[in-house]
């Protein structure tokens, strides 16, 4: 359970990443943004890596919650995947800086802790989508001429590319609108 101050530090870290990029995310800049000393930040987190790990842990908790929600839902497989896709787009729309953390290779390239956390999140999301696809294939809702692994890769890859393009383009297009167009195409590809 995170303290109020830890939540504030995490939220301000996300805002700082959104404004200055990952390179501008320093403890010095963070302490200025919050209005507390650098040692005060270190009382709550041991390092910048610990803060990024906490951001990823929070994202992972959201993903786990969404996965559990989908496993209990009576919706069809295509509806579940569409719902998950829309929720992820909504999360990124609400907190664009998460894109810089979740989809930024330069952050975790040399940090094994962050790299492993990202891999864990990706694997969990991939497994969730694959399981939904397998159930959909068994229920004759999802095409079976393409493997669930390939369909999951196509679905997740298209989401990642769209969100990354939105981020690199300085958020100039409506992500939710474009997301709806993309998910309709994905539904066509997935459906039997």
| Per-residue pLDDT tens over the stretch 180-189 | 999 999 999 9
Asked whether 112 and 121 are in contact (CB, 8 A), the reply is: no
d(CA 110, CA 107): 7
Between 134 and 119, residue with greater pLDDT? 134
Asked whether 123 and 129 are in contact (CB, 8 A), the reply is: no
b/e string for 27-56 if b means 16 or more Cβ within 10 A? beebbeebebeeeebeebbeebeebbbbbb
- pTM of the complete model beyond 0.75: yes
Structure confidence by residue, pLDDT tens digits, 60-105: 898 899 888 888 889 999 999 999 999 999 999 988 888 877 776 6
The fold adopted by the segment(s) 50-190 is Tetracycline Repressor; domain 2 (1.10.357)
Q: Do domains 1-45 and 50-190 have the same CATH topology?
A: no
Mean pLDDT of the chain: 90
**Is the confidence at residue 148, as pLDDT, over 90?**
yes
**Is the confidence at residue 150, as pLDDT, over 80?**
yes
d(CA 183, CA 87): 12
Given the candidates 3.40.190.170, 1.10.10.60, 3.30.200.20, 3.30.70.2200, the CATH classification of the domain at 1-45 is 1.10.10.60
- In terms of C-beta density within 10 A (0-12 exposed, 13-18 middle, 19 or more buried), how is residue 92 classed? buried
Structure confidence by residue, pLDDT tens digits, 11-26: 999 888 878 877 888 9
Domain chopping of the chain, boundaries: 1-45, 50-190
- In terms of C-beta density within 10 A (0-12 exposed, 13-18 middle, 19 or more buried), how is residue 86 classed? middle
Of the segments 11-15, 121-125, 148-152, which one has the largest average pLDDT value? 148-152
């Amino acid at each position: 359970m995170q303290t109020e101050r830890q939540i504030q530090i995490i939220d301000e870290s996300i805002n700082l990443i959104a404004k200055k990029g990952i390179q501008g995310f320093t403890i010095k800049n963070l302490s200025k943004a919050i209005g507390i000393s650098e040692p005060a930040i270190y009382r709550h987190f041991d390092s910048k890596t610990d803060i990024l790990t906490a951001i990823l842990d929070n994202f992972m908790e959201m993903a786990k919650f969404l996965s559990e929600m989908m496993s209990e839902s009576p919706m069809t497989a295509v509806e579940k995947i569409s719902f998950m896709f829309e929720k992820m787009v909504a999360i990124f729309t609400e907190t664009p800086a998460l894109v810089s953390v979740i989809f930024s290779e330069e952050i975790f390239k040399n940090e094994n802790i962050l790299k492993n956390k990202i891999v864990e999140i990706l694997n969990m999301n991939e497994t969730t989508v694959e399981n939904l696809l397998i159930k959909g294939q068994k229920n004759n809702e999802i095409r079976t001429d393409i493997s669930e692994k390939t369909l999951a890769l196509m679905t997740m890859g298209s989401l990642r590319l769209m969100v990354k393009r939105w981020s690199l383009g300085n958020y100039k297009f409506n992500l939710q609108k474009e997301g709806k167009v993309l998910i309709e195409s994905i539904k066509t590809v997935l459906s039997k």
